[in-house]
Amino acid sequence: MSEPGVPYAGIATRAVALAVDMAIVQVVIFAAGAVLTLTASLIGGFDLGTVTKVLAAAAWAAAIAGYFVTFWATVGQTPGMRMMDLRVCTAGGVPPGVGRSIVRVVGLALAIIPLFAGFLPVLVDDRRRGLHDFLASTVVLHAASEPPPDPDLARSALPAGTGRRAPA
């Protein structure tokens, strides 16, 4: 659980959710590969050339990206996030949408590549955002929490030199 008054998800709960999601995706991909291999063996087999291997790798990456983008854009949480009682949203509290989810999944890959170093900002950022959250302007909250006002949005809504918000 989080500290009282802190709605943002920490690194441990996010890591468990990511591990669960990756396990789900890999099981589905493995099952599809097993079906394709079984089918190929029944019709005489096939030799995987370099082009086929590259296409298989691209399909694998597309399946993973599609999984995350679909869940984030539609309901704001993947099955792993649901299990850990987390959700991803914009500063306004809504699911990120397709475009922002695509940016987030690319950012997730970039965060993972250098030995998960893109997750280190979660340890020091006030809103516990990783590289992918910064790139997509998202936050990960405990599901029952509402996002506090975004200080970046509040600053941009103030007219220069005044302490009041601009009229809506």
Domain residue limits, the chain: 11-146
Q: Which of 23-27, 103-107, 132-136, 143-147 has the lowest mean pLDDT?
A: 143-147
User: What's the pLDDT at 20?
Assistant: 98
Within its chain, how far is the Cα of 104 from the centroid?
6
Do residues 78 and 16 lie in contact, with contact meaning Cβ atoms separated by under 8 Å?
no
Q: What is the 3-state secondary structure (H, E, C) of 72-132?
A: HHHCCCCHHHHHCCEEEECCCCCCCHHHHHHHHHHHHHHHHCCCCHHHCHHHHCCCCCCHH
Q: How far apart are CA 161 and CA 3, in angstroms?
A: 36
Residue 147 has a pLDDT of 81
Average pLDDT, the chain: 88
- Average pLDDT of 109-115? 96
**What is the rounded CA–CA span in Å between residue 122 and residue 92?**
20
Cα–Cα dist 86/76, whole Å: 9
3-state helix, strand, coil in the chain (%, to 5): 60, 5, 35
Averaged pLDDT, 130-146: 94
What is the token pair recorded at 162?
Answer: 């005044």
pLDDT one-digit tens code per residue, 51-103: 989 999 999 999 999 999 999 999 999 999 999 999 999 988 999 999 999 99
**DSSP, res 8:** B
pTM value > 0.75: yes
Does residue 117 or residue 147 have the better pLDDT? 117
Q: What does residue 15 show for φ and ψ, rounded to 5 degrees?
A: -65, -40
d(Cα 125, Cα 143) in Å, to the nearest integer? 20
Using pLDDT thresholds of 50, 70 and 90, give the confidence band for residue 153: low
> Given this model, what pLDDT does residue 97 score?
96
Confidence of residue 29 (pLDDT cuts 50, 70, 90): very high
Q: What is the pLDDT of residue 159?
A: 52
CA dist., res. 141 & res. 22, Å (int) = 20
